[in-house]
Structure 1
Amino acid sequence: MSELRVEHWDDDRFMAAARAWDHPVPIEQAPAWDAFDQAVDGRSPWRRLAVLDGADAVVALIALSQFAGRGFTYLWAKHGPMWPARPDAAAEAAAREAVLAYVRWEAPEVVFVRMHAWHPAPGLCELLQTVTYDRTVVIDLTRSEDEILASFTKRGRYKTRRALKDADMTVTDESGMSAAQFAELYEIYRETAERDGFGIFPMSVYTTMIESLGEHARVFVARRHDTGPEGNLVPGRAVSWVVSLVHDGGGVDFYAGGNREARDTNAAIALKWHIFTTLKAEGVTRYDLMGVGSERVPQLAGVGEFKHQFGDDVEIDGAWDVPVKPMRYRSLVLALRAKRALRR
């Protein structure tokens, strides 16, 4: 591959180039994400970059956010770089090195860059403090509803039909809810995290996302209803919910929670079907269920069992840490290991 160079592009030029590739632009790579970065302490949008070859053709595009850790700074390109088609290992490595060279010159304080890669390679390190995924389930929403349902597993079709017949459960779009309203959902998330053994952020992170991303952050809630004295349904209690991020014709499950009652009533199944059909009607063409287990991420096997009811695995490019300052990065790895050992 010819020598590559990196340029800082404005939002309009960047998005025009990305949309020319005819697949949805992930919201984290788009200007819409900037409002969320700006609203969270320790985070900010950094730059949108184009990687160009010697003929000025765009090889890859990447948007980076800046994160301030405890005494160190790093950049994160969530779901970037973006490519016109899946790159081979040599093209990917060349673009990555071009971006790293640019960062070394323009941001000498940065310790590492977190970015996605299709191909394992020297210099790619497992993430310090978060979980990535390299397999997911993607629902093609360009098909008819009957075709979508037929693509589910036999168990998935049975559970979907059964959940849709449950007269005591409704699923509604409650996007734009206030922080006070989200508190009910956050308590469900606490229960989900304790049951499944994962950590969650303070509630303000989720409410800030909903507020800052506006129309791109959709909140869908499954509620169980009791029957009133006159046979009418009494507005019910939330049992399961999903925050879906929607951008540029694509949607993704971003956060979700469900309590014990939800598990007993297939509320999450009803939720997914409502999301698929609602977003399909609005023109969304694909929906990503955001991660299933793989050899690299076996801890996602449990959620994968649920998501496989809706479709088969799709390979994607997982995230990696790429040290800019290898010695400093190594010290962070050792410090984190020591901290975890003390907790144990």
Structure 2
Amino acid sequence: MTPESQLRAGEATARPCTDRSEWDGLVNELGGHPLQLWGWGEVKAAHHWRVERLIVDDDGTPLGGAQILYRGLPWPLKSLAYISRGPVCAPEDAARVLDAVARHLRSTQGSVALVAEPDWDAGSAGERGLEAAGFRRTESTILIPRTLILDLQQGEDELMAAMSRTTRANVRKNLKSRLEFRKVASEAELEQVLAIYRETARRAGFGIHSDAYYRDIWRFLGGDSPVVAAFDGDQAVAFVWIAKSAGTAFELYGGVTEAGQKARANYGVKWAAFTAMKAEGCARYDLNGLLNDGISDFKKQFAQHENLLSGTWELPLSPLYPVYSTGMPIARRALQRGRSLAKTGARQAKGALRRLRPGA
């Protein structure tokens, strides 16, 4: 670390971490989200991002950390830094951790802004920490803050009781059917899952990544990303794909074939995912976002409540932040749009810079 990135005496200090076991140990010990795990960073690094893990020490003791994803931006903006469902720390330590992270980024990366979407409830102490560290709330959301989180520390009877009557009946019917619910155990079964996901996307009309992206999740996250599927004989007919840390299960993807829909396998496989993650020690199961659509209506059948997380927060890091925030609205959606950023963002950046020149 450069001298400039060292914090003043008595303040927390951010240091890069290059050891997977140390990093994942910190995430799991401090109750971090699975999107902060080493393997998730490797997935993103294989698909147009750059990744850095920072551990924040307080007098030699780890206070928290953050896995930073960097998306390159057109010159002279350099990059946008993003913390997905982080930082990893107690909410009351947020200000110190984020301040240390921001100082490190300013002195070593030159990123134009830092975006954070913590795994904290709205109104928590963490939000006060974000404000104290200079972050401001933004509506340019990447991960949806309105969601449904199940308390897996409840008994199975309590989880069942929270469902709608029809959903509970469909789950129980599935459990008595010929369907088998278990984790995907081979690459051949994974290919069945990918085919189901392509079919589901076509039927429902939503966009998905290439198959290579999902294979990389399977490869880089390994046991931290189980896929629970419903099998009719040797054929998968529905699945739920999860990322999990020690305390949190986070639903990534799901899909069902037309035959699986007729058998209501999408109900049984959801229940199988809940109980599998409960058995593995996860205390909470996040169904990952609620919108006003049919998929969200399906999710809401499994409980009678909703959760609201802190949302999206942004910290300016560079004098060029006004160019980024006012002249590059599409670039600010880089985290969602992927490769299309480069061409469109470059045009907008050039136009914004021309307008800022004397005499323009």
- The TM-score bracket by the shorter chain reads 0.7 to 0.9
In structure 2, distance between residues paired with 1:99 and 1:336: 21
* 1:202 matched to 2:198: no
> Among residues 84, 87, 90, which one is paired with 1:81 in the alignment?
87
In structure 2, distance between residues paired with 1:323 and 1:174: 43
Q: What letter matches 2:86 in structure 1?
A: G
In structure 2, distance between residues paired with 1:176 and 1:111: 42
The Cα of 1:320 is off from its aligned counterpart by 4.2
State the SS of the aligned residue for 1:205. helix
1:96–1:285 CA distance, 2 compared to 1 (3 A): closer
> Among residues 309, 312, 336, which one is paired with 1:316 in the alignment?
309
1:149–1:182 CA distance, 2 compared to 1 (3 A): same
The Cα of 1:335 is off from its aligned counterpart by 6.5
State the SS of the aligned residue for 1:309. helix
In structure 2, distance between residues paired with 1:166 and 1:70: 55
> Among residues 49, 72, 75, which one is paired with 1:43 in the alignment?
49
- Note if contact 2:218-2:225 (Cα within 8 Å) is conserved in structure 1: yes
- Note if contact 2:28-2:247 (Cα within 8 Å) is conserved in structure 1: no
The Cα of 1:5 is off from its aligned counterpart by 4.6
1:143–1:48 CA distance, 2 compared to 1 (3 A): same
Q: What letter matches 2:102 in structure 1?
A: L
The Cα of 1:106 is off from its aligned counterpart by 1.5
Q: CA RMSD in A?
A: 3.5
Q: What letter matches 2:299 in structure 1?
A: K
> Among residues 325, 328, 334, which one is paired with 1:332 in the alignment?
328
The Cα of 1:59 is off from its aligned counterpart by 6.7
State the SS of the aligned residue for 1:62. strand
Instruction: List aligned pairs for 1:123-272, cutoff 5 A.
Output: 123-127=136-140, 131-167=142-178, 169-178=179-188, 181-223=189-231, 225=232, 235-236=234-235, 238-272=236-270
Aligned residues: 308
Q: What letter matches 2:180 in structure 1?
A: T
The Cα of 1:195 is off from its aligned counterpart by 3.5
Pick the structure with more strand per residue. 1
* 1:307 matched to 2:299: yes
- Note if contact 2:239-2:269 (Cα within 8 Å) is conserved in structure 1: yes
State the SS of the aligned residue for 2:138. coil
Q: Tell me the equivalent position of 1:230.
A: none
Q: Tell me the equivalent position of 1:285.
A: 283
In structure 2, distance between residues paired with 1:197 and 1:321: 31
In structure 2, distance between residues paired with 1:5 and 1:144: 40
Report Cα offsets for 1:74-122 as digits up to 9, x if no partner.
222111123424x5xxx867765554343122111x2332212545977
Q: TM-score, normalised by structure 2?
A: 0.71
- Note if contact 1:125-1:322 (Cα within 8 Å) is conserved in structure 2: no
Report Cα offsets for 1:217-236 as digits up to 9, x if no partner.
2122223x4xxxxxxxx533
- Note if contact 2:16-2:52 (Cα within 8 Å) is conserved in structure 1: no
Q: Tell me the equivalent position of 1:228.
A: none
Report Cα offsets for 1:209-257 as digits up to 9, x if no partner.
101111112122223x4xxxxxxxx533x33212111221322211212
Pick the structure with more helix per residue. 2
The Cα of 1:6 is off from its aligned counterpart by 4.1
In structure 2, distance between residues paired with 1:46 and 1:259: 38
1:94–1:283 CA distance, 2 compared to 1 (3 A): closer
- Note if contact 1:250-1:287 (Cα within 8 Å) is conserved in structure 2: yes
Unpaired runs of at least 5, structure 1: 226-233, 294-298
In structure 1, distance between residues paired with 2:331 and 2:161: 50
